[in-house]
Each structure stands twice: as structure tokens, then as C-alpha cells.
Structure 1
Amino acid sequence: MTGTGWSAYGEGVTKRVTEGSLLERDKELAALGEAVNAARSGDGSLVVVQGPPGAGKTRLLAAAGDRGQAAGLRVLAGRGRELEREIALGVALELLSPPVTAADPGERARLASGPAAPVARLFPGVLPEAGSPANPSTDTMLRGMCWLAANLTGWDRTGVPARPMLVTVDDAQWADEASLRFLAMLADRVATLPVALVVAVRDGDGGSDVSALRRLTAHPPNRLLAPAPLTAGAVDRLVTRVFPSAEAELAAAVAHASGGNPFFVGELLRSLQADGRTPAAGTIASMVPGTVLRSVLARLARLPAEAGRLAASAAILGDGTPLRRAAVHAELDLPSAERAADTLAGAHLLQPGNPLAFVHPLIAAAVHADLPAFARARAHRRAADLLVEDGESVEKVAGHLLATQPEGDPGVARVLREAADRALRRGDPAAAARLLRRAVLDAPPTQWLGELLVELARAQMTAGDMTAHASITEALALLGEAPLQVRAEAMTLLAWIRHGRGDFSGAAAAHDAALDLFQPGDPMWQDILADYLMIATFHPPLRRHGAGLLAPVLQEVRLGRPPSRPGLLAHVTLQLALAGDPAPEICRMASGALAGDPLVGSVGHGALMGVVVHALVIAGELVAAEKAADAALSAARQRGDVLAYGYAGFHRALSRYHQGALTAALADLEAARVPYDEGWTAAGGWIGFLLALVHLEQGDYAAAEEALHMGSHRSSEGMDAALVLDCRARLALLRGEPATALDTARAAGRRLDEVYEIDHPGVLPWRATAALAAHHLGDHRNAQELAAQGLERARAVGVPQGVGAALRVAGRVARPRPDITLLSEAVATLRQTPAALEHARALVDLGTALWRAGRARECGQPLRQGLALADRMHARLLAERARAELRAAGLRPRRTAVAGIDALTPAERRVALLALHGHSNNQIAQALFVTTKTVETHLARAYRKLAISNRRQLHEAFGPPK
């Protein structure tokens, strides 16, 4: 490849480049070309270009952009800038704003649909905000940005060719943290999108110590390009072009002094050329890169004073500064500034034209660093004032204010506070904390400073910075006369911070102090208590303290005075269910909690909604639970909150499982797994235990075992750990390991009782599992005792579903033979409930007992009814047992209507189940983050394997959806 000369390495980022100007970069250019071609074919990839300053990374990205444009790709380009690292999502918006703004209104509505809805607030007046959540979480916002990027490719449009994209980000080490997290999340998805993501990052820069950047650069799989230093031969060609009569020793000296760095080679040759004669090789030996940069400053010093002032202002204001603004900052009139800019361009320090930009960031950094410290700080303050006058964003202003000296100026503090608020709302709490730390230094020591410190502590806690404790402690000392609500919010924040530090007694004390500020029953008091119970209810060290605080509220409820706030009502609903209160009362409380918002204010991504739905399931109100989860799913989908969608999916699956809608439950659980698969693993134990139960009913032990591993990283004290243990006991029993099953079931019950003091069959019917395990061991006395205890407990709670299930187990393990009276009572009890799965079990157990008792004429009806239910629910294990008993009784069992489900791959099964339950192809693609084309392909393959031709026939294969 032929080069065009050394000056090609100093011409900057805005000039369109040709590949011929890049020496010894054939391998890198080929890799970039492959990424572009792959994206054009629909296959995304990540390419990271990493190297020291001056290695030519910017020129490689420009070459990639040329390739992308030539190939017809949509090219999005962004760049990190040191002064703009506090602008949350600044780089992300630089990438996405141009195509969004250029789209027509109809296209904009599509771009902001589904999970992309939360990002509409970042484009006010451009994207429609209908359905966008008021305060989306950081993860929801970042995932919405990924969806927006995906929607720009048109991947979700059936019958319309996709628009592949090339996304390039230069100087990623200076990008804001929120943008880096967005890029890392996008990198997780490029394999399913027609997107080539190319990121350039500088070696050895302090800004690279950001977890999102480390994750991005180490992302598997990616293509890492590390441009090597120029060889001696390449340097010789550049030297000969500038000094045709030079000896070989000169090229060798230049190569040694520059280390083969393209930028330093160019600047070294430019410095040597200024002398007007061919230098001797011996004079080069000591000209290391630092000397080269000093020579740049020396070259600047030889220029007219106006040029030096303009260069200093350009270095302060940053690349992209309009000449007019730089002129005002440098205190030059416009004609003088124009002459100075031309002079700097002629000296190869600035690029020609307007806005101003240095030919290389290293030159800008050298000019900036050469300014005396106090003069530099004062220049940044003047720059901030100019940006305010020009109406620039507070984030850009804040970048300059961070470089100033504190002067006790409340105006500075207010700007930094506003910028911090925007950073928080855009998902960058670390940037918000940096801004607020600086704001504190300019705030007067008053209540306002206390409020600033509270905001700082909140940002620090969100960013995982435990110095938040010092900030909130200092804040509380300044808030003595502040309004009660302000002090209460500070005390509640202190409680969360102490909890995060493992100081559980301190957390309880802080919440007590916050509650003491209000009268019991006050709306603020209720909200504080609800907030605390979100920690305490499921956290053993705080559970008893939380229960003590809630006890007076429950007494008021039983006197007909329930709390008015939905958050506290949610907790009340759960406690009433656990206490065995009447189902109508539980339903009334649940309705009150969910009346204003099916996600109960979206606190914790619908965590409070989950508390309410689980309470309804415990109380046996399965239909009401499913209805509440339906509404939560709809709200979560509209708001684009994927985590809330996952939680609601799990809770609908819970209600559907007990109703025997196994395929519907499995479809919901597949959707619930999406957040888990993306790293939100806190619900892994809950999802895993329920998924395992469904697989056990379908006879897939291997899939059940795999599902149980989803909670393996969770604490053994979590409530879900007890549920997982009981499920393992059931699996051991089915595998013919009754001794293991008995010990494991007992351990599950013991853990729930000792840690949470919960003994409720609607939460964990562990005695049923233990009784059946003892029965299979031949320990019939123990089995009957356990079953009797389970029945006694179920009757005490009074939930018909639980009573019926306990009757079934007691009847089955009775000796000398199964108790037909108990089993008949179980069938009659369960027939009146929506618990179809338990009803089917009772029917099969009753039929089996009748056959074994010699009552062959009577056994056929319950066995056939049980088989029909099991087949309809696709409860394969139960159906096979019913068939076996019918055959043993000399009766002919009905045949399964459709076979072929076992031939489906996991992906085909997942898509088919979602289609079965009413999801459109587009909705399935959004739920699983695959293309619509992929959904169509999976469905077509599933249809062939199931010998069907359309969605309407899916119910014949899987059973009718509930």
C-alpha cells in the first residue's frame, strides 16, 4: 500500500481519508472491511481498536466510515471528549440523535415503540412520549437506548429490508459512563443485529478505569485490533519524502526517537523541517515524544501573540468550538481571530475551517497543560460563562466548572446540581456524584448544603460508592430545621446505606428515627414503613423488627381501618394471606393496593405488585392473581420496563401453574428469563424453582435440574432457597431417591420456619413431599404423621386448594391401604377451586386407590377424567401414570391427540409458546430480542415438526391456552 506522506497522520478527524494514506494498516483495514460486509449481510460484530496516542486509531475509524458509506450502511459516529465526560449519555445521544431527528413522524413513532419507549424523554418534542415511564430506572433507560438503536436498523419490520448500521466511537476512554454502559449492552446484542460496532480506545489513560469500558474492550467475542508501531522501512519512506537526500541513519534515528508512533514521526519531521536543512542523525537521538510536544509549543511560541491566545482558548473550549466563541474568549475581534486561525492551520496545529479543532488531541492537551494552573482555572470559568450566554446545556457548562477553583459561588453550585440531576435521570450516578461533590464546595453551609449532601449520598449509593455514609451523616447535621419530609427522606436514605454496609441494626434505627418524625398512619409514615418493609420482609436480620412495626397496622386493618397508601397495603395483603385471613378480605386489600397502578407505582420494577399477586396465590385466589399479573404485564410492556415485565411474567406463571395451564406458565417463564439472562439474577431462585416444577410435570428431569441452577448463586437464607430445596426433594423422589427426598424436604420446611417463621401450605407444602418420600421408604408411620400434620395445618389456614391437596396426600399414604374417603373428599374439594393441576392429581390417586381396592367398575371414571385433564394441561408425567393404571385395570386409555413437541429445539419451543398465548411476531421479537425474521423461521420449523400450518392449530399440540 502506497502512502501519501507524513502529513497524513496530522490532519485530524474531520477530513475524509483514503486508505492509501494509512501505512502498514492492511490487516486492520481488512478486519474493518469484514465487519462492514458482515453487517451488510445481517451479521453484527464488535471491533475494538486499541493503542497508544498517535497510533492512528482515529484514521482507522474514518476509513471504516468510508467503507460503511460505500457499502450503503447507515453510519453513526460519536467521540468521547475529556471536557464532556459528565454529560450522561452524551456520546450515545451524539450517535442516535441525527437519525432520530431526520426520521419522519410515522417512523419516529415506530422507533420509540415497545421497550424503546423510555428513551422518548431524551428527545423532547421529537419522539412521542405516550407510554414512556415518568422515572425509568437506569437499566430500563439503557436497554431502551439499545432498542432504539435496533429499531433504527428496521429489524422489526416484516417485508421491509433491514438498514444495516456501522457505529463508530472514537476516544472511548473519555466517553461518559452511561454511554459506555450503553455501548457494552449494545455489544451484548450485536450478534442478533445487522450492526458493526467499532470502538477506539487509548491505552494507558486514566479514564479507562471504568468497569463498562473494561467490559466493552474484553467483550467476547470481539475483534481486537492493536495497530503496531511503524516499521523502520515505513519510517524511512516518510523521512525520504520530506528529506530526499537523507542518509539511512536519519530514518533509523527518527524511528528510534518516535518509537514508530505515526503521530510522533510526523511531528518530529515537521519540527526538523522547520530548520530548512537536512538534520544530522546524531541530533535526533534525544528527541523523545515529550521533546516533540515541547517542540510543538515552541512552534506555537514563534507565531504571533494573537495565534497563541486563540490556540489557548481553543484548548480550553475544546474541539468543535465556533470561531466566534473562541474569539470572544481570547478577547480578539473576529477578523483578528480569523487571521490567527489561518496562521495556526498553516503551522499544522489547527485544522483549517470553522469550527475549530486541533489536528490531534495530543497537541490540544499540550497547549492546555502549558497554561499556568490558576490561569487555566480562570479560563475555564470564563468559558462556562460564555456557554451560558450562548444557551448551551448545563452539562457542557458543568464540564468547565469542574475545572475551576471553588469560590463559594451558589450560582456555580446550582448549575452543577442541575447537571447532576440530569446525569441521574440519564443513568449515570457516578457522574452525578462527581458533579455534586464539586457543587458542595461552592454551597454556603446552610440547609441547602444539607440537601445537596443528601443528593450526593443518593448518587454515591446508586453508584455503589460507600462514602455515601459520610455524606449523609454530614447532611443530617445540617438538616435540623429542615421540613420533616426532607429529614425523613435523609433518614430513609441513611437506612438503605447502612443496610448496604451490613449494619442491620443501624438500618433499623435509622428507619425508626424517620418514622418517629410522623404520626402513625400519616401518608408519609406509611410510605416510609412500606419502604423499610421492602428490605425487612425478606431479609432475616431485619424481619422481626419489620414485623413488629407492621403489627399495629394489621390490628387497625382488622378493626376496619386499612392504610391508605398502596405500598403499605401491598405488605398488608401479604401478611393477611400468610395469617390465613378470609380470601375476600385479602382480595379487597389487593384491589386497593393495585387500584392506582397495576405495578404499584413501579417501585422496584413492580416488586410490590409481586407481593400482592403472591399473596393472592397463597390465599388460593388464582384467577384474581392472574388478572392482576395481566394488568401488570400490560403496564410494563407499555412503559418498556423489561424487568417489571419479567417479574409480572413470573407471577402470572405462578398462578397459571396451579391452574394447570402449564404451557401458558412456561411461556410466561420464558419471557421472565429475559432479564435474568441479561444479568438481573436476583430472581433466579424464584424463576428456577417454578420452571423446574413445570418441567417435572412434563417429565423432563434434566430441564428441571438445569432450571434449579438458576438460583445457585443466591444466599441460603433467601426465601427462594427453601422453595428450591423442596423442588429438589420432589426431583429426588421422582428419580427413586426417597431418603434424599425426605431429608431435603425437611430441610426446606425447617429453613422457612427458622428463618422466616412461615408455615403455610400455600407458600411451601413441604410436608406433602416429605410424607410421600417416607411412604416410598416404607416408613408408613412417619408418612402418616407428616400427612396428618399437613392436613391439620391446611385446615387451620382454611384455603380450599391447600385443604384438598393435603387430603389427597393423607389419603394416598394411609395404611393398610389408601383411604378412599379422604381421596374422594379431596376430589370434591378441589373440584370447587381453580387448582386444576391438583384436582387432576387427586382424580388419578382416587382412581388408582379404587382399582387397588378391587373396585374396578368405579376406577375408570376418575382415571379417565384425570387423564383428560393431564393431557389438556400437557402434564405428561401424570398422564402416563393415569394411562398405566387404566391399562392395569383392563381399560383402554385415550390417545394423545398430537405428538411432536419433543422434537422442538428450545428456541422453537420458546417462540411457539409465546405465539400460542397471543403474542404477535413483533412482540415475540421484542420479548426475546431476536429479529422478526428469526421468529418467522422458528415458527415455520415448529409448524413442520408439529404437522400443523398456523397459529390456531398450536393449541392442538400444546393444549388450549388458559
Structure 2
Amino acid sequence: MTVDDPGPALFGRERESRRLAELVESTRRRGGALVVRGEAGIGKSALLRQARRLAVDLDLLILSATGTEAEARLPFSGLHQLVRPVLGRAEELPGPQRAAVLAAFGMAPGAAPDLFLIALAVLNLLAEAAAGAGALLLVEDAHWLDPPSAEVLAFVARRLEADPIVLLAATRDGYAGGLGAALEQLRVDRLDDASAGALLDARAPGLAEEVRRRLLAEAAGNPLALVELPIAASRRGAEPPEPLEPQRRPLTARLEEAFAARVSGLPEAAQALLLVAAVNDGDALAEALAAAPAVAGAAVAVDDLTPAVDAHLVDVDRTTIRFRHPLMRSAIQQRAPLAQRLAAHAALAGVVGGQADRRVWHRAGACLGPDDVVADELEEAAQHARHRGAMVTAVAALQRSGQLTVDPGRSADRLLRAADLAVDLGRYDVVGGLLREAEARGLSFAQQAQRLWMESSFGDGLRDQKTGPAALAEVADRVAGEHGGVRLAMRLLNSAALRCFWSQAGAEARDRVVAVTESLPAEADDPDRLAILAFAAPIERGSVVIEGLRRISARAGADAQTLRLLGSAAVIIGAFDQAEACCAASLADLRAQGRLGSLTRALAALAWCAAHQADLSAGVPAAEEAAQLALETSQPLFFGIARAAAAVMAASGGHSDRAVALAAEAEQRGVAAAVRPVLATAQLARGRGALAEGRYADAYGELRRMHDPGDPSFHVGLRCFCLTDLVEAAAHSGQRDAVVEVVFDLEAAGRRTSSPALHAGLRYARAVLAEDARAEALFREALNAETSRWPFSRARTQLAYGQWLRRQRRPVESRAPLRAARNTFDALGTAPWAERARQELRAAGEASRVRPVPGRDELTPQELQIAQLAAQGLTNREIGQALYLSHRTVSTHLHNIFPKLGITARAQLHAIVGEITSW
């Protein structure tokens, strides 16, 4: 079979054909996604056609789309092409999802939907459509999909495992990102010599040996070249081609030349039609026929395309004109004079006048220089794209608007606004290019401040280290004072505060950030203000932040983003109960709104709190989901935090090997960027793991590093919350005297902040390190403190108190605190500490058997999360909506969960999961 042959066999593609056949044939049992990657003309489309034929034989639903370079600026055009046959089922979707997907396609008004909410809607739409027979999704030229479509389909592809859907996408080498990123790849290489010779002989039999040899050398195993180059050679006549130098003339260029040569021999009317079709952002035959006369200078008719069809350049039916290969489109545009390309765009702008977004891009394509009218229209197109949730398209429209704007200041403003949108997308490369374009126009001070904020915003301020926190604060002070830009000043201060948190800023820089923040006209409990103070000065302003959080918590009506921000602030100052409440309250709305970037941060904060409190049932699923979403939303710092928190929880549960592996994975993320919170949390995981195994000296060595200012894991704020671990290690390893210095330092910090986590650790340290004469009173003081919401901390104090009582030869009195500690450790799943309490109880004369908790270690983090939600009474659809999974994937997980928990019915989940998650 050749590139264009519909037959069943492909020369030299047995391995690739078998892989695709296996995947398509498995559709009714499971789903999956595969990206077929290779150079232009390598035969990717032929493989997808082969898969389509098999899907027809299996009676699968087949949905397909083809990316085109001309349509890459039309938001969701590729996605709409794919799902159009099943879009009628959108009425079956939950209301927010239905509204999101219809708004994305411009079929309904509404607020700008989040891209991930659109993606969830598409996932459920496809899952419903495939429920009967299964479905095959085919995406040709995926590298030219419009970016919103590519992002949605990538999201869907990562979640197809349990649905009867297979997605196959063909993408060309040299294109990064898009649908191909993070998905399984099937590399299609050039044909071997035997297969190449067989293909050439099948398509061009009877060639002279010298011609055949030269063509094989020139094609170098590329199937399209083996088909097209003999045609080009035949057009040059019977003379053999001249020797070629492949290293100077890339194969793609030679193929484009071959296509261009075939076009040059066509009548002028056909050439005009092909040029219009090549620059068009659609494939409508009527549009090409309507616009071509302006290029040809004469009337044209559909029959004028016959020579192009005969030359195998295009396929034409009653409504469409499509190029046989994408290289033909680019070859035609490259050979056409500039004036003709401009004329083609201008003509198409008139033809598609009723479609404003398409019209403006063609008008822009017809501009030779700045044009304020077109620039204004592009700005409107950007706003329209934002309302549809197509932020990448909005960035492109604003960028082109800025390029076409006459006034330099206004041009710079539009380019900066484009960069601002690109910041939200996490596109550092795009932001950099836009900022360079804006700077070339000349920037005012206020615009320079905007540029500075954008440069400092990536990686929470760690990617760009040219401007320190103090310098950012100075700019913020001037922006607010001289230009009234309080919002921009807050943004700059937020970047400065994050740098203080993630890296090690000096006291002078932190003080300057605090001073400028407190000088701004903002309420004392303004959420942005509180977050800046927490990140910049968690000790010095910890009490201020806690008081502000209390005032806010007394009011109702905070939105999800505000709650998430407040939760993050509470984490940093050690108010874990408030942090959990705020973050947990934000989750439902963040999920419903599709704000996965903020959801990642909320989950990471929850996981971090849970790690310190050993709340494994809540924390392990939160950490796993945060890590996965961090990869999906390009937030590597929060991937590191989530993995480090998971490592602490694994250590708390006695899974030392997993803890070590997770800590190493987190540290790999943290070392390169000197991300101290990640390194500190990974170090805590190592220390707690050593504690769990009874290696107290090793634990002390690991944990002591967190309090050494010269160590990369030192963090001025986070070290305050690990005192219990350090003191426990010191007390059991003969390091009581050595740890006193650290405790003394943190006592001083405690006089400046009311941080609950710090003061819980200080109460424990005072009791454990005290002389016997004072110890009992200090233990009672620690246990009388309000610690009901801190069960792990309270149980550790009870264990230490019981141990002290037994050493004082008071075994009967020791049993009550030891028994209480054991029960809490059992409920939390912190097996090493539970076993330690049992050993002490046995030494105190009381037998204590292990209480098994069914299924705790058998369930994966996601299974535990699904079981918890199902136990709360949520349906599979509701669980899927919450976790961004199809309801069929949820059903598959529950099918696996039941035997692991030893149950047979959903009604039994509540009791079992309640036992797993209770304290």
C-alpha cells in the first residue's frame, strides 16, 4: 500500500500497524491515547486511515478532525470539528458543563468558561457517545490544532483509560507542546532499503536503474518522497536528475519544490483558486470560488479546479476543497508573490464578512503596515475569544493588534495586556517575546512596572532572579504613590513576598516588603494584604495574619479564590485548622469552575497541613491529586510540595521505602531552583522516616539541618512547625543539651507570633526536656491546651507523658495516656507510633493487640478519594465532576475498590470508610 492507496497493507509498517490495531481492537475493554509522530510525508496519515478501516469493521463510532495552519487562530475550531456529530448530546451534560462547551463554540452566551471545565464537558460528552459501541477519535495534523482544542484534547486523552474510547493523533516532528505533550508516542521512522525499493517499484515501475538509484537516495526512505519525486522527475523529462546534496536541501523543501512545480504548470484560474484555498482558514469551496476572481483578475468556475484534481493536489466535492498533503498548502503560499497573498486575504475578508473573527484575521493578513482600524477590530476579537475561554487565541489577537497599532504607547499597552493574559496561561516563552516587542515601543514607568511584575511572576518569582524582593517593593511603593496603581503595587508585592517564601531573603528585604504593604490603602483584613504579610514575614506578622483570618472567618460570602488565598496564608503561619477550613471550603467551587491552577494550590496546602498533622486519609489523596494537577497546569513548585508532603505522610504511616523515593523526587524539583520549602519538607520526611524506624540519632541529624541557616533546607518559617519531631529525636538519642539552643531560638519566635503549630511544638519541647520536678506540670499544661483539632500532636504528647510516668515507676497512671495515644495513632494510621504506644503499654502491664483497619493500605490515593466521596452519598456523575473524571472511570474504580475493602455493596462504604478516616 502506498501513501494514497486505500488498500490494507503498508510497505515496511508491520510494527506500527500492529500497535494501532491492538489499540483499536481493545477499545471496548479499555481506552487509551497514542500520538503517531514523524517527519512530513512519513506515512502517519496512512496509518490512521488503516486504523479507521478497522474501526469501521468493528462498528465503532468514528469522530475525526484535521488541524490546519490557517485555522490555528480560530478558537476551538478543531474541537468543534471533532465533536460536531455528537454535540446534540450536550443537553445531557450538567448545567455548568453544558454552558461551558456551548459558550466555547459560540453557540450560547455566558461568562468566560475555564478551559478545564470545557475539557470536562467534552470528556463526558464523548463518554456518553461512546457508551454503546465504543469510539475511535482520529486527529490528523495535530500540531496545527488551535491551542485551545489541543489543550482540551490532551486533557481528555489523559483520562480515557476506563472509557471505551481510543484517541489517535498524528503530529509532525519539530512541533513542541500541543496534543503530543505527555502522551504515549509511536515514532514512525523512514522505511528500510527493501521497503523503500518495493514502494518505489510499485508506484513508478520500469525506471532506469540509474534514475531508480538516485531517487531512492534522494527520498531516503520517506514514503511521500518516493511517491512524489518520480512524478517531478518525469516532468523534467527523460534525463536523469542531477546529483543532489541532501544536507544542503532538506527533504521537506524538496517536496515543497515538487508540489510547487506541479502548481506552476496549471492554468492561472486554477492557480488563483489554489492560492485562495491555501491562505483560507476554512475549506469551503464556495469561499474559494467567491474570492479567487480578485486574485485571478477574471471570473473562475469550479471546473477550473479540474487540472489541480488531476494533478493529485486537491480533493474537491460539492462543498469542500482539501489539499492532499499539508506541504502543498505551504508550497503554494511560498511560491506566490506577496501582492497575490495580500489580495487573497483581502478577498477572503470580504467573502467571510458575516464571521467577524475570521474576517479580522484576513484583514490583518492583508495589511502591509500599521492600521488602527484593523488593530481595534483585533482587540474586539481578543475580547470575544476571552469570553469563549480561548485565552491563547486572545493573546494572539492582542499581539497582532499591538503590532498594527500606530501610536507606540497604545501599541505597547496592547502588547503588555497580551503578556498579562499569557502569564495566566503559564507561557513564559510567549510572555518574554511580547515583553521584548513592547519594550521596542518605549515604555512609561507604569508600563515598566507592569513588565517587571510579569517577569517576576513565573515560578512564583524564582524563574527570574534579576530583581530581588526589596527592589520589587520599591517599584510597588512608587507605582502606588505616584501613579495610584494600588492593584499593580499589590501584584508586585505579592511577587516579592513569594520570593521571600520560596527562597531565602534577608531580614532587611522582608522588612521592606512588609513596610510598603502596610503603607498601602488597604483594609487590615484584606486577603491580598494578609497573604503578602504571611509569605514575607510569617513570624513577625504571624499574629496579625491570624487575627485577620479570624475576622474574615466571622463573615460569610468569601469566594473560592479568596478562600484559597487565605488558606495558603494560614498554612504559612502555622494555623493549620484555619488553613484546612479555608482550603476545603474552596474546593467545590474551584472544581465546578474548572480553575485547576488554583485547585492545585488549594490541594497542595491541604496536603501540607495533613502531612504535619498525620491526617493520612485526607492528605494522601490531596497530595496525589495536587501532584497530578501540578503537572497538568505546569506548576512544578507545587508538584514538589505535593510530593514532599506525600513523603512525610508515607513516613508517618511507616512506609519508609516510599517516603525515601518521594522525598528524592521532591528534592530533585527543589534543588535546581533552590526552593527551600520543598527541600525543608523533604528533609522533614527523612527525619520522620528515621523516627518511625527508631533510628533516633539519624532522625536528629536529618531534622537538625532544617535549623541550620547555612543548609539549603533551612526555612525561617517552616522550621517552626517541626519542633516536636526534632525534640523527640533529641530526647531518644542523647541530644537533649544540643537541642536546647534551637528551642531557645524558637521560644523567641513564639513571643512574636501566636502560631498554633509553633506553640504546640514549644509546649511539647518544654515538657519533654524539663527536669523531672517540673515535667509533670508541663505535660499537663500541654495536654490541657485546646488541641482537639490537632490529634497527632496531642497523641505524641500523651505518648511522651506515658513514657515519663512509666520511667517514674508509675505504670498504672501511665496506661491512660498511653492507651489514648495508641487509639489515636491507630485511627490516624501512624503505625510506628501506635506500635511504640503498645510497647509502652505492655511494659506498663497492659496487653494491647493491633487493631486492623480494613483496606487502608490496599487502596490507591485516588481510590481512597473516590471511596470517601461515594461514602458521602455522591453519585458516580457527581464524583466524576468533582475529580475531573468521566463517571464510567469512577464506576471502574469502585469496581476495584469493593473487593479490596471486602464489601459487595455501595451502602457498606460509609461504615468502612468512616473507620478508615475517623480519628
Q: TM-score range by the shorter chain?
A: 0.7 to 0.9
In the alignment, what sits opposite 1:337? 301
Cα separation, partners in 2 of 1:110 and 1:455, compared to 1, 3 Å? closer
Cα separation, partners in 2 of 1:413 and 1:317, compared to 1, 3 Å? same
Aligned counterparts, 1:798-817, within 5 A: 798=754, 802-815=758-771
Cα separation, partners in 2 of 1:609 and 1:253, compared to 1, 3 Å? same
In the alignment, what sits opposite 1:123? 105
Q: Pick one of 571, 576, 585 that aligns with 2:547.
A: 585
1:357 partner amino acid: R
User: Secondary structure of 1:819's match?
Assistant: helix
1:99 partner amino acid: V
CA distance in 2, matches of 1:929, 1:303: 52
CA distance in 1, matches of 2:709, 2:326: 61
Conservation of the 8 A alpha-carbon contact between 1:812 and 1:845 = yes
CA distance in 2, matches of 1:512, 1:639: 34
Q: Map Cα deviations across residues 204-249 of structure 1 (whole Å, 9 max, x no partner).
A: xxxx343447747xx5453646566865455445456xxxxx6876
Question: Given the alignment of the two structures, is residue 649 of structure 1 paired with residue 649 of structure 2, yes or no?
Answer: no
Q: Map Cα deviations across residues 235-287 of structure 1 (whole Å, 9 max, x no partner).
A: 445456xxxxx687699489659848666666677789999xxx8xx545569
In the alignment, what sits opposite 1:195? 165
Question: Given the alignment of the two structures, is residue 353 of structure 1 paired with residue 309 of structure 2, yes or no?
Answer: no
In the alignment, what sits opposite 1:398? 361
Q: Pick one of 140, 143, 147 that aligns with 2:120.
A: 147
CA distance in 2, matches of 1:594, 1:476: 46
1:70 partner amino acid: D
In the alignment, what sits opposite 1:379? 344
Conservation of the 8 A alpha-carbon contact between 1:688 and 1:707 = yes
1:195 partner amino acid: I
Q: Pick one of 453, 473, 477 that aligns with 2:415.
A: 453
Q: Pick one of 100, 103, 115 that aligns with 2:89.
A: 103
Aligned counterparts, 1:427-466, within 5 A: 438-458=400-420, 463-465=427-429, 466=432
Cα separation, partners in 2 of 1:463 and 1:792, compared to 1, 3 Å? closer
Conservation of the 8 A alpha-carbon contact between 2:93 and 2:121 = no
Conservation of the 8 A alpha-carbon contact between 1:730 and 1:741 = yes
Question: Given the alignment of the two structures, is residue 44 of structure 1 paired with residue 32 of structure 2, yes or no?
Answer: yes
Q: Pick one of 126, 137, 140 that aligns with 1:170.
A: 140
CA distance in 1, matches of 2:904, 2:855: 5
CA distance in 1, matches of 2:643, 2:778: 33
Q: Which runs of 5+ in 2 are unaligned?
A: 245-250
In the alignment, what sits opposite 2:570? 613
* TM-superposed deviation, 1:123: 3.0
CA distance in 2, matches of 1:718, 1:638: 33
CA distance in 1, matches of 2:613, 2:204: 81
Cα separation, partners in 2 of 1:841 and 1:717, compared to 1, 3 Å? same
Aligned counterparts, 1:460-609, within 5 A: 463-465=427-429, 466-475=432-441, 477=443, 479=444, 489=450, 492-493=453-454, 496=457, 500-505=463-468, 507-518=472-483, 526=490, 529-530=493-494, 532-541=496-505, 544-545=508-509, 547-551=511-515, 554=518, 562-563=523-524, 565-572=526-533, 579=541, 581=543, 585-591=547-553, 595-600=557-562, 606=564, 608-609=565-566
CA distance in 2, matches of 1:45, 1:758: 45
Conservation of the 8 A alpha-carbon contact between 2:855 and 2:901 = no
Aligned counterparts, 1:853-868, within 5 A: 853-868=808-823
CA distance in 1, matches of 2:545, 2:17: 69
In the alignment, what sits opposite 2:247? none
Question: Given the alignment of the two structures, is residue 83 of structure 1 paired with residue 70 of structure 2, yes or no?
Answer: yes
Q: Map Cα deviations across residues 582-616 of structure 1 (whole Å, 9 max, x no partner).
A: 89724334438984313228xxxx4x23333326x
Q: Pick one of 112, 117, 121 that aligns with 2:97.
A: 112
CA distance in 1, matches of 2:441, 2:496: 21
Conservation of the 8 A alpha-carbon contact between 1:84 and 1:395 = no
CA distance in 1, matches of 2:472, 2:79: 38
Cα separation, partners in 2 of 1:221 and 1:923, compared to 1, 3 Å? farther
User: Secondary structure of 1:896's match?
Assistant: coil
2:139 partner amino acid: V
Range 650-659 or range 861-870, more displaced: 650-659
* TM-superposed deviation, 1:860: 2.7
CA distance in 1, matches of 2:133, 2:150: 24
Conservation of the 8 A alpha-carbon contact between 1:495 and 1:508 = no
Aligned counterparts, 1:298-309, within 5 A: 305-309=268-272
Conservation of the 8 A alpha-carbon contact between 2:706 and 2:714 = no
Cα separation, partners in 2 of 1:215 and 1:700, compared to 1, 3 Å? closer
Question: Given the alignment of the two structures, is residue 70 of structure 1 paired with residue 57 of structure 2, yes or no?
Answer: yes
* TM-superposed deviation, 1:568: 1.9
Larger Rg: 1
* TM-superposed deviation, 1:324: 5.2
Cα separation, partners in 2 of 1:751 and 1:147, compared to 1, 3 Å? farther
* TM-superposed deviation, 1:826: 1.8
In the alignment, what sits opposite 1:841? 796
* TM-superposed deviation, 1:951: 0.5
* TM-superposed deviation, 1:371: 2.5
TM-score of the two chains, using structure 1 as the length reference: 0.79
Q: Pick one of 761, 775, 782 that aligns with 2:731.
A: 775
User: Secondary structure of 1:741's match?
Assistant: helix
Q: Pick one of 310, 314, 339 that aligns with 2:273.
A: 310
CA distance in 2, matches of 1:292, 1:500: 42
Q: Pick one of 283, 304, 328 that aligns with 1:320.
A: 283
User: Secondary structure of 2:637's match?
Assistant: coil
Cα separation, partners in 2 of 1:919 and 1:625, compared to 1, 3 Å? farther
Conservation of the 8 A alpha-carbon contact between 1:453 and 1:474 = no
1:470 partner amino acid: R
In the alignment, what sits opposite 1:878? 833
Aligned counterparts, 1:553-952, within 5 A: 554=518, 562-563=523-524, 565-572=526-533, 579=541, 581=543, 585-591=547-553, 595-600=557-562, 606=564, 608-614=565-571, 618-619=574-575, 622=577, 624-655=578-609, 661-676=615-630, 678=632, 680-712=635-667, 713-714=669-670, 715-751=673-709, 758=716, 764-783=720-739, 787=743, 794=750, 797-798=753-754, 802-815=758-771, 819-830=775-786, 833-893=788-848, 896=851, 898=853, 901-902=856-857, 911-912=866-867, 915=870, 921-922=876-877, 927=883, 929=885, 931-944=889-902, 950-952=908-910
Identity of aligned residues (%): 22
Conservation of the 8 A alpha-carbon contact between 1:398 and 1:419 = no
Conservation of the 8 A alpha-carbon contact between 1:801 and 1:829 = no
User: Secondary structure of 1:596's match?
Assistant: coil
CA RMSD of aligned residues (A): 4.7
Cα separation, partners in 2 of 1:746 and 1:253, compared to 1, 3 Å? closer
Conservation of the 8 A alpha-carbon contact between 1:653 and 1:666 = yes
Conservation of the 8 A alpha-carbon contact between 1:73 and 1:165 = yes
Conservation of the 8 A alpha-carbon contact between 2:803 and 2:814 = yes
Q: Map Cα deviations across residues 609-668 of structure 1 (whole Å, 9 max, x no partner).
A: 3333326x7247x2x443322211111121122343333234344555666644233343
* TM-superposed deviation, 1:525: 5.2
Conservation of the 8 A alpha-carbon contact between 1:417 and 1:439 = yes
How many residues align structurally? 892
2:169 partner amino acid: V
Conservation of the 8 A alpha-carbon contact between 1:86 and 1:431 = yes
Question: Given the alignment of the two structures, is residue 35 of structure 1 paired with residue 7 of structure 2, yes or no?
Answer: no
User: Secondary structure of 1:39's match?
Assistant: coil
CA distance in 2, matches of 1:258, 1:633: 59
